[in-house]
Amino acid sequence: MACICVGPKGSGKTHLLSALKNESTIDITTHSVSTVGTNIFKIAIPNYLISGLNQSNKKEKYSTILEIGGCMAPLWRKYFNNVNKIIYVVDTSNLCQISCAGVLLYSIMADPRLQKTKFLLVLTKMDLAYRQMRNEALLMLQMAKLKKQLKQNLVIVEASPITRDGFEDIYKWLDTVRRKAIEGYKERKSEEDSKSKTSESNVKGPLHQGSGPTIDSSISDLEKLCQEREKQDGCNRVRIR
Ligand SMILES: Nc1nc2c(ncn2[C@@H]2O[C@H](COP(=O)(O)OP(=O)(O)OP(=O)(O)O)[C@@H](O)[C@H]2O)c(=O)[nH]1
Ligand SMILES: [Mg+2]
């Protein structure tokens, strides 16, 4: 159930994930250092956003996300094994970077290992006055072309760690994907269990089943047959036990 967060250098991954983890850590004065390597964030999903959670079951649900630094872009694909959620962060205020971000996103989504992966595209830094609006940003990312050519489901969210816009949608996405992954795992496990049960009963065969002859009864049948043959032949056969 691995979830990774990628995006170009300085696009706002660390800021976004820190704010999702702890709302009081990020404000207008916060600056973060470029991630050289990876960061792990354990994010608690607020109870009121978890669907199907009743009052008696107040256990907190977490999502663990691995951020991989933008400077590691050539190495991102080394982390793609067993990944079923990808958060892709794009800086809407960086005109020079946005087209390049689209190309990078395309190269990720085309990876054969990620054909069943769920994607969340976060258009971040929405608090800045000189940002691109949603439609302009999507145009620059060539989103229409990308959606035509690739089959994965891509959810798009506009967000800002400073104003906390879009955070509910991100938490809800994390919760649905987490729930679906658990349901899928349970289904696969019950299928495997039922398969192993049927194969076990096939391996046992008729000797182990109540209705068939037992080993003891087969031996006594054999002895009776020998005694009958001895009577018929009128001679003693050598019996080896
Ligand atoms: N105003 C504003 N600034 C932001 C926002 N998100 C990030 N920043 C700024 O952008 C800088 C880079 O953000 P990071 O979160 O470090 O970017 P990153 O994607 O983790 O970068 P790498 O680790 O190098 O890949 C931060 O120091 C912030 O100053 C945002 O939503 N609004
Ligand atoms: Mg970072």
Q: What CATH number is attached to the domain comprising 119?
A: 3.40.50.300
Does residue 222 lie within any of the structural domains? no
- Work out which ligand 1 atom sits closest to the CA atom of 68: 25
Q: What is d(CA 32, CA 89) in angstroms, rounded to the nearest whole number?
A: 15
Q: What is d(CA 11, CA 92) in angstroms, rounded to the nearest whole number?
A: 8
**What was the pLDDT predicted at 241?**
47
**What was the pLDDT predicted at 233?**
60
- Work out which ligand 1 atom sits closest to the CA atom of 126: 31
**What was the pLDDT predicted at 169?**
94
pTM of the model: 0.79
Which protein residues have their CB within 5 A of the ion that is ligand 2? 13-14, 35
Closest CA to 95 of 136, 66, 56, 58: 136
CB of residue 166 inside a 6 A radius of ligand 1: no
Distance, CA 67 to ligand 2 centroid (Å)?
7
**What was the pLDDT predicted at 210?**
46
Tell me if 15 sits within 8 A of 89, measured CB to CB: no
Q: Nearest bound ligand to CA 161?
A: 1
Helix extents (H) in 41-166: 95-109, 134-140, 143-149
For residue 3, count other CB atoms closer than 10 A to its CB: 22
**What was the pLDDT predicted at 240?**
46
Domain assignment of residue 95, given as a range: 2-186
**What was the pLDDT predicted at 57?**
60
Does residue 171 lie within any of the structural domains? yes
Does residue 112 lie within any of the structural domains? yes
Give SS3 for 162: coil
CA-based diameter of the chain, in Å? 113
Q: Which residue has the tokens 């800045």?
A: 128
**What was the pLDDT predicted at 177?**
85
Residue 24 structure tokens: 């009081």
Does residue 126 lie within any of the structural domains? yes
- Residue 235 DSSP label: S
Q: What is d(CA 14, CA 196) in angstroms, rounded to the nearest whole number?
A: 45
Tell me if 19 sits within 8 A of 164, measured CB to CB: yes
**What was the pLDDT predicted at 47?**
83
Q: How many domains does the chain have?
A: 1
Per-residue confidence of the chain (241 residues) as pLDDT tens digits? 589 999 999 999 999 999 999 877 777 788 888 999 999 999 998 887 776 655 556 677 888 999 999 999 999 999 999 898 999 999 999 999 999 999 999 999 999 999 999 999 999 999 999 999 999 999 999 999 998 888 898 999 999 999 999 999 999 999 888 888 788 788 888 888 888 877 776 655 554 444 444 445 544 565 665 567 666 665 454 454 4
